[in-house]
A and B are shown apart, each in its own frame.
Chain A
Amino acid sequence: MGGTIETLVNREYQYGFVTDIEAETIPRGLDENTVRLISAKKGEPKWLLDWRLKAFARWNTMQEPHWSNVKYPAIDYQDVIYYSAPKPQKALGSLDEVDPKLREMYGKLGISLSEQKRMNNVAVDVVMDSVSVGTSFKAELSKLGIIFCSFGEAVREHPELVQKYLGSVVPHSDNFFAALNSAVFSDGSFVYVPKGVRCPMELSTYFRINAEGTGQFERTLIIADEGAYVSYLEGCTAPKRDTNQLHAAVVELIALKDATIKYSTVQNWYAGDEKGEGGIYNFVTKRGKCAGENAKISWTQVETGSAITWKYPSVILQGDNSVGEFYSVAVVNNHQQADTGTKMIHIGRNTRSTIVSKGISAGQGNNSYRGQVKVLPKAAHARNYTQCDSMLIGNRCGAHTFPYIEVQNNSATLEHEASTSKIGEDQIFYLTQRGISKENAVSMIVAGFCKDVFKELPMEFALEAQQLLGITLEGSVG
C-alpha cells in the first residue's frame, strides 16, 4: 500500500486556487483611521463606529496572549489588510446576479448555490472576503419573520436588534482577538428567529478567504427569541497561500427562554504544506448565552484545517434548566496545531452540560483539549459530563488534555473522563485480514472513534466531515 499512501500524503490541497476577482482593498496597517475607514466604507451609523473605536482603544492596551499550547511566529498586525471587498458591489436580489466567476468558484467547491437551493433545501449566505455576496431563501424565511442576512445589512435594516445584542456575549474587551475583531470586523452573518418560530431549514454560510494577505474578521450574531429553534451551519475552505493568514472571528449566540440554537462547523481552512509553511491562523472567539430558562445551545465542530486552531466555543448557562453541549472532532496532521475545547459556565439552577471531544493527532501535529467547567455557588444541581479521547497515529505527534474543573456548589455532579491511546493495531489487523485495505481500515476506525460527534451533525455535513477526515488522515499510517 506504500504507493497509495505516497500519493495521498502528497496530495495537494484540493481547494487551493485563487479566484481572480478584482478586490477593493485598503492599505495594510491598523490605526484609528483604518477603523474609521472600514466603518465609513460600510456606511455605518455613529454608534457602531464609536463601539469599534472603543474596542480599538482597548485592544491597544492589551497584550497578545501566549498561554496556549501552540507555537507560531509573531504576528505583525501592521502588515495585514483589514478590509477587502469584491468589486462588483451592488445589492443582489437573486442568485443569477452573482458574478459568474464567483459562481464558478463555488461550483469548484461543490457548493453551487442553485444546486444547494434546489436539492438541499438549505439557505446559503455566502461570505467571500468579508462582504456578503449572495443570500438565498430570504423571501421564504422572511415570511416567518426570520431575519437571515449579512451583518452589514442587519446594521442598516435592524439596528435596534444589533445594538441590543452586539457584544452582549463577547464584550469588546473580552480578549485580545475579540477586541481586534470588534474594532475591524468587516462583515458576517446575522440571524434572528422570532418568538415561537421553528426555522424550517438549516441555515448555512460558507466563509472563504480570498485576497492574499487579507485577515478575515467575521462577526456572527444569532438570536433565538423565546421558544424559537434554529440550526446554523458554518463551513470553511480556503485557497492555498504561502503567507500565514490571520482569522479572528467572533460568534455570539443568544438563546432566550425555551429557545434552542444548534451551531455546526466544518472547518477546513488551508493547513499549510507538509513542511509547515503557510496555513491559516484560526483564532476565534465563539460563545453562546442561554439567557432564559430551558434554553439550549449546542456546538458541534469538525476541525480538520488551519495551521493553528485556537478556539473554545463556550456556553454561559445563565437561565435555570438550560443546557449546553459541545461536540468536537479535531484532527491535526503534518505540522498542524490545535488548542481547542470549551467552557461551560454554570450559573443557573439545574443547568446541564455535555462535552464530547475527540482529538486525532497524526504526522507532527499537536492537539490539545483545553476545557473549563465552572459551577458557580448558585448553580444548584448542575450536571456535567465530559469525555475527551485522543488518538495518536505516528510517533512524532502529540495529544494533550488540560481540563479545568471548578466547583463551588456541592449539589453539582461532574464527571470527567479522558483517554489517550494509539490507533488499535489489532483492529487494523482484523479489518485488513478481512480484505479491507489498511487505508480504509484506518478510515473506518477513525469514523467509529468520532461517531458520537458525527451523529450530532446535520446529514450533509456529516458526510462532508467524514470525507474530510479521511482525506486529512490518509497516508498517516503505514
Chain B
Amino acid sequence: MTAPYIADFTTLSNNGVRAEPEWLRDTRRTGIERFAALGFPTPRNEDWHFTSVAPIAEASFSQLRGASGQVAKGALAPFQFGESDWPLMVFVNGKFDASLSTPELVAKGIRALDLSTALRDEPTLVEPWLGKLSTSEDRSFSALNAAFMSDGVVVHIAPYIESAVPLHVIFVSDANAAKGVAHVRNLIVAGHHSKATVIESYVSLGDSGYFTNAVTEVQVEQGATLTHYKIQRESQRAFHVHTIDAQQARDSHYVSFSFATGAALSRTNIYTNLNGEGSGATLNGLYMADDEQHVDHQTNIVHSQPNCFSREIYKGILSGAAHGVFNGKVYVYPIAQKTDGKQTNNNLLLSDRARIDTKPQLEIYADDVRCTHGATVGRLDEMALFYMKSRGVSTDAATKLLTYAFAADVLETIEVPAVRTELERATLERFTGSSVAL
C-alpha cells in the first residue's frame, strides 16, 4: 500500500516545485526511503499490536493542497475558547490561512509563524531543530510525514519570556479534505527559563473521511516550562495519527494534556526525553470513544538523566463498541538515579461491547529509583449508583454524574481555567448530549 505514496514523492521531487534547501531535501529523501522500507505497521509490530492501520493503508489518500477562503471566521467559533486576545493560528486542510489568524505574532517575545513562511524567509528558525528532535527511524508515519511535511506551526519563545496568554493553533478540515491527507509538521522551541502555553486543536467542520498525519517537535530549554495541550476533535470518519517528540534540557518542565474524542481511528504518540538533570514531565490525558471508534495513546517517558520526575494520569471512557488502547512506557537509563516516576491509567467501560487493551510498562536499569504504575478497568461503581438512586437521583442522571466525575479528576489537572472549562463542557456534552449542567 506504500506504492501510491512513493509515486507521489517521485512526482513531487521531479517537478521541483519547491526550491528547498539541501538539508530539507535530504530529510525528505530519508523519510520516503524509510517509509518504503518499513511499510505501514502491522499488528505484528509490538507498538501496533492492538491497533490495525489497515483502513489507512488500504485507502489511498492524496496530498491535500489546502483550501483557503472556504472557511468563514464564524465557523470556527465552536472551537475557540478563552479570551479574545489569545493569539490564534488557523490551518485549513493542512495549509496556513492568514485571513483567519491573528496578525503580528511577533509581540511579547513569542515568534509564531507557519512552516512554509519560516522555511522561505527565516530558515534559521527551523533548520537547527526540524527533523532532529523527532526520529523517524523505526516509525512509518513519522517517516511518511518527513517525506511530505507541508505546513505547520513554528513557535519560538524567547528566553525568560513568561507568556500569560496561550497560543491557540487550530487545524481545521472541511468537506474539501475528503480522501486527502495533511502531513502537518510543527516545531515548538521554548527558550531557557521561558514559560508558555501552546494549544493544538484538530477539528473538523464536516463528517468527511480524511487523514491527518502530524508530527510535533518540541524543545524545552533549560529551566523552561512548556504547557502543551492537544485537543483532538476530528470528524467521526477521519483518521488521525500524531506524534509529539519532546526533548528536555536541565530543570525544564514539560506539561502535556491530550484530549481525544474524535476520529474513527486515532493514534497519539507522546514521547518525551528527560535529557537534563532535574527536569520533569507531566503527561495527562482523557480519551472518550463510542460507536465503532478506535482510540489509541502511546506514551514513552525516557529518563536519561538523574533526579528527574515524571507524572502521568490517563483516563478513558468507552461506550458503544469502541476500542481503547493505552500503552505507557517509562524507561530509566542506568545513569538516571533518583528517578521518581508515577503512572496511572484508569478505564471506564460503559457498554458490554466496549473493549480496552492497556499496557503500562516500566523498564528500569537504575537502582535508586521510585517508580510505580497502576491500571484499572471497570464499570461504574454499583454502590455509588445505588446510593445516588436511594437519594432520588434518576439512574440516567446518576450514570452521567458518575461518568463526569470520573473524567473530572484528570481534567482538574489542567491549569489554564478557560481550557479546563471548555474540556469539561466538551466532556459533559459527549456523554449527556447537552452542555447544560445536570
Contact = CB atoms under 8 A, between A and B. Distances in A.
B377 A405 contact: yes
A325 B352 CA distance: 26
Given A410-B350, A417-B372, A419-B372, A67 B364 contact: no
A109 interface: no
Interface string A361-402: 000000000000000010000000000001011111111111
B377 A412 contact: yes
A352 to B, nearest CB: 14
Interface in A403-428: 403-422
B46 A67 contact: yes
B334 A395 contact: yes
A306 B438 CA distance: 60
Interface in B354-379: 354-379
Interface string B318-356: 000000000000000010010000000001011111111
B349 A410 contact: yes
A403 B50 CA distance: 14
| Most chain A beta carbons < 10 A, residue from B354, B374, B377 | B377
B367 A393 contact: yes
Contacts of A404: 357, 359
B358 A405 contact: yes
Contacts of A394: 367
Contacts of A421: 369-371
A396 B355 contact: no
A477 to B, nearest CB: 11
B357 A405 contact: yes
A414 B350 CA distance: 15
B369 A422 contact: yes
A392 B374 contact: no
| Most chain B beta carbons < 10 A, residue from A67, A413, A418, A420 | A420
Given A390-B364, A398-B364, A418-B374, A405 B369 contact: no
A372 to B, nearest CB: 9
Contacts of A393: 367
Contact of A399 (B362, B374, B379): B362
B364 A414 contact: no
B349 A418 contact: no
B389 to A, nearest CB: 18
A419 B371 contact: yes
Contacts of B352: 377, 409-411
Nearest to A69: B363
A416 B362 contact: no
A122 to B, nearest CB: 39
Contact of B374 (A396, A406, A415): A415
Interface in B63-108: none
Interface in A95-140: none
Contacts, number: 113
A339 B351 CA distance: 35
Given A402-B359, A407-B355, A408-B355, A392 B367 contact: yes
Contacts of A390: 362, 364
B364 A406 contact: no
B356 A420 contact: no
B362 A395 contact: no
Nearest to A394: B367
A420 B362 contact: yes
Given A395-B334, A408-B355, A414 B376 contact: yes
Contact of B362 (A400, A408, A411): A400
A409 B349 CA distance: 8
A51 B405 CA distance: 57
Contacts of A415: 374-376
Given A404-B357, A416-B360, A397 B367 contact: yes
Nearest to A392: B367
A417 B360 CA distance: 10
A158 to B, nearest CB: 42
B378 A398 contact: no
Nearest to A425: B368
A410 B379 contact: yes
B375 A395 contact: no
Given A392-B367, A409-B352, A410-B349, A416 B376 contact: yes
Nearest to A410: B349
| Most chain A beta carbons < 10 A, residue from B351, B354, B359 | B359
A77 B356 CA distance: 40
A177 B367 CA distance: 33
A395 B337 CA distance: 9
A363 to B, nearest CB: 11
Contacts of A395: 334, 337, 366-368
Nearest to A412: B377
Contacts of A410: 349-352, 354, 379
Contacts of A411: 352, 379
A96 to B, nearest CB: 52
Nearest to B357: A406
B190 to A, nearest CB: 31
Given A67-B46, A392-B369, A413 B377 contact: yes
Contacts of B375: 403, 405, 414-416
Given A400-B361, A400-B364, A403-B359, A420 B337 contact: no
Contacts of A402: 359, 361
Nearest to A405: B358
B367 A401 contact: no
A421 B338 CA distance: 10
A397 B371 CA distance: 15
Contacts of B377: 405, 407, 412-414
A183 to B, nearest CB: 26
| Most chain A beta carbons < 10 A, residue from B354, B363, B367, B379 | B367
A407 B347 CA distance: 10
Interface string A127-167: 00000000000000000000000000000000000000000
Given A395-B334, A412-B378, A420 B372 contact: yes
A243 B280 CA distance: 46
B360 A418 contact: yes
Nearest to B375: A416
A405 B356 contact: yes
Contacts of B369: 392, 420-422
A422 B337 CA distance: 10
A460 B263 CA distance: 58
A469 B263 CA distance: 52
Interface string B9-53: 000000000000000000000000000000000000010001000
A395 B357 CA distance: 33
A433 B298 CA distance: 46
Nearest to B327: A404
Interface of A: 67, 377, 390, 392-422
Among all A-B residue pairs, the 6 with the closest Cβ atoms? A410-B349, A392-B367, A419-B372, A416-B375, A401-B362, A414-B377
27 contacts: A377-B353, A392-B369, A393-B367, A395-B367, A395-B368, A401-B373, A402-B359, A404-B357, A405-B358, A407-B355, A407-B377, A409-B352, A410-B349, A410-B350, A410-B354, A411-B352, A412-B378, A413-B378, A415-B374, A417-B372, A418-B360, A418-B362, A418-B372, A419-B371, A419-B373, A421-B371, A422-B367
Given A401-B361, A410-B379, A421-B371, 17 more contacts: A392-B367, A395-B334, A395-B337, A398-B363, A399-B362, A402-B361, A403-B360, A405-B359, A408-B355, A413-B376, A414-B375, A416-B374, A417-B374, A419-B371, A419-B372, A420-B371, A421-B369
